[in-house]
Chain A
Amino acid sequence: MKKHLVYLALLILAAVLLGTQLPTQSVEARNPTSPPPNDVAVTAVGSDIDPEAMAALTRMGTYLRSIKAFQVEAVTTRDEVLDSGQQIQFDSKVNFLVRMPDRLRIEVENVRQHRLYLYDGKDFTVWAERANYYATVPAPPTVGKLAGEVDDKYGIQIPLEDLFYWGTPQSKEKDITGAIDVGPSEVGGVTCEHYAFRQKGLDWQAWIQMGDFPLPRKLVITTLTDESRPQYSSVLTWNLAPSFNDAAFEFAPPKDAHKIAIAEESAPAGAEK
């Protein structure tokens, strides 16, 4: 008799659980191509792709690749998430100087770090100003390959690395599952068109300058795989006629600077080199 009651209770429980899951399943059913939600129930409902929005992205990529040298000053924010789910936002100032395909100078400044990254087509140097430590490692031959390599190998993320990927085969445009043209907008006094995209694990938005110079003026990336949905944002100020010489990309160690190693990602933490 008691056994029957237990079964009944289990049955009811199962029914309740099924019932609560139904809405999620029906959403998925509308978009069979999307992968099953992982730990966070975020399912891309909008598989609608506005071809105009995609074309704008392609135009931006093509235009970016046509620029031989540029300077970008960016103000970025990045949300970090506490174990409690609470978000903490940190700002950085980034100053980029790029000469395609093989020169790069990036200065990143925030309350925690002041870093200078230099790349001269052969070596990649990172300098920590406050500690006055620097490290130099051999680098791949192009800026496009650099960002991926230093991230994979050393865990160093080049800020705004997307600027090097759009308009190349490394662009993940084909992964986009939703593209919307939000409408006209303005960033720092520049008229832009505002677009919103979705891809696996990410919602992101781009404000692309209108007219003959389709530059990204603002980017917002929302990480969906974290239930707090932290964002990374950047507002970019462009200079397409920077003045510089080769020395801008070469590292001249300041007085009392000390050379140290860079830990490789695959190596066990704390391994000596």
Chain B
Amino acid sequence: MNRSIRFSLVGLTVLLLPFATLVSGQRGGGGGHAYHGGAQTSVNRGSNMNRNTNINSNRNVNVNSNRNVNVNVHNDVNVHGGYHGGGGYYGGGCCYHPVATAAAVAAASIVTAAVIGSMVNTVPPSCSTVMVNGMTYSQCGNTWYQPQFSGSSTTYVVVNAPR
């Protein structure tokens, strides 16, 4: 009995691994640092005040540090209180980093790395770009992402498999 539970956990982990590993627990990331705003860039338009174009400089989230039996329970999915548009680093491509979505919160305690409607800044390098019916998707195992621009940043929204 115990064994079967352990097996299923291992199975789940293996399933989750393709989707990268760890969702950064802190707002913002970047080694756990959270950005809450930045300098306004125009004196003739007030509307961009406190809008942050570069929230998530998540460069050093642990890569594959949980390559073990522990299933990653995402009860720490972060919310940016209305700030979006994190310019995640592309260099690392290690992990993905959630940015604010209501869906991510709603699904906070669900044991899955791919909540439909949740949004991340980067996808693992193993994902492949796939065109389906003229739309661009990023497929990572059984998880499908739809890339989009959020402000000047690219983000990926988890969507249902398109076919």
Given contacts A112-B54, A133-B154, A201-B49, contact A270 B119 (CB under 8 A): yes
Residue B114, interface by CB 8 Å: no
Give the size category of A's interface with B: 35 or more
In chain B, positions 140-154 with a C-beta closer than 8 Å to chain A are 146-154
Instruction: Please name all residues of chain A whose beta carbon is closer than 8 Å to the beta carbon of B36 when the two chains form the complex.
Output: 81-83
Query: What CA separation (Å) do A269 and B149 show in the bound complex?
Result: 11
**A128, A133, A260, most chain B CB atoms within 10 A:** A260
Q: Would you call B84 and A78 a contact (CB within 8 A)?
A: no
Q: Is the CB of B136 within 8 A of A263?
A: no
A165 and B45 contacting across the interface, CB-CB below 8 Å: yes
Kindly state whether residue A157 has any CB partner on chain B within 8 Å: yes
**A154 contacts B151, CB within 8 Å?**
yes
Find out whether the CB atom of B35 lies under 8 angstroms from the CB atom of A81. Answer: yes
Contact A272 B46 (CB under 8 A): no
A128 touches B154 (CB 8 A): yes
Cα A269 to Cα B45 in complex, Å, equals: 24
Q: In the complex, what residues of A have CB within 8 A of residue B154's CB?
A: 128, 131, 133, 260
**Contact indicator A221/B41 (Cβ below 8 Å):** yes
Q: Is B52 an interface residue (CB 8 A)?
A: yes
Q: Determine the distance from Cα of A223 to Cα of B150 in the docked complex, in whole angstroms.
A: 24
Contacts of B37 in A (CB 8 A): 80-81, 226, 230
Inside 8 A of B45's CB, which chain A residues have their CB?
147-148, 151, 161, 165, 170, 172
Q: Find out whether the CB atom of A263 lies under 8 angstroms from the CB atom of B44.
A: no
State the majority secondary structure of interface residues on B: loop
Which residues of A lie under 8 Å from residue B84 when comparing CB positions?
Answer: 155, 269
Q: Mark B78-90, 1 if CB is under 8 A from A, else 0.
A: 0000001101111
A86 to chain B, nearest CB (A): 8
Query: In chain B between 84 and 140, which residues have their CB closer than 8 angstroms to a CB of chain A?
Result: 84-85, 87-90, 99-103, 117-119, 129, 131, 136
Q: Is A199 an interface residue (CB 8 A)?
A: yes
**Contact for A155 among B39, B49, B102, B151, CB less than 8 A:** B151
Nearest-neighbor residue (CB-CB) of A115 within chain B: B152
Which residues of chain A are near B85, meaning CB under 8 Å?
Answer: 155
- Which of B28, B41, B117 has the largest count of A CB atoms less than 10 A from its CB? B41
Interface string of A185-228 (1 = CB under 8 A from B): 00000000000010111101000000000000000011101100
CB-based contact A268/B51 at 8 Å: no
Do residues B102 and A268 form an inter-chain contact, with CB atoms below 8 A?
A: yes
Decide yes or no: A133 and B136 within 8 Å by CB, A126-B149, A263-B150 being known contacts. Answer: yes
B10 interface contact, C-beta 8 A: no
Q: Is the CB of A223 within 8 A of B35?
A: no
- Cβ–Cβ < 8 Å partners of A172 in chain B: 43-46
Min CB gap B128→A, angstroms: 12
Cα–Cα distance between A197 and B34 once the two chains are bound (Å): 31
Which of B47-70 touch A at CB < 8 Å? Answer: 47-54, 57
Tell whether, in the assembled complex, residue B153 and residue A113 are in contact, meaning their CB atoms are under 8 Å apart: yes
| Residues from chain B with Cβ under 8 Å of A48 in the complex | none
B157 at the interface (CB under 8 A from A): yes
A259 contacts partner chain B, Cβ-Cβ < 8 Å = yes
Given contacts A131-B147, A263-B148, 7 further A-B contacts (CB under 8 A): A90-B54, A112-B89, A131-B154, A133-B147, A223-B38, A226-B39, A258-B147
**A-B CB proximity, top 5 nearest:** A165-B44, A155-B151, A230-B39, A80-B38, A232-B39
28 pairs across A/B with beta carbons < 8 Å? A79-B39, A81-B37, A82-B36, A83-B28, A112-B87, A112-B90, A128-B154, A133-B149, A133-B154, A147-B45, A155-B51, A155-B84, A156-B149, A157-B42, A161-B41, A162-B42, A166-B44, A172-B43, A200-B46, A221-B39, A221-B41, A223-B38, A230-B39, A258-B147, A261-B149, A263-B150, A268-B102, A270-B118
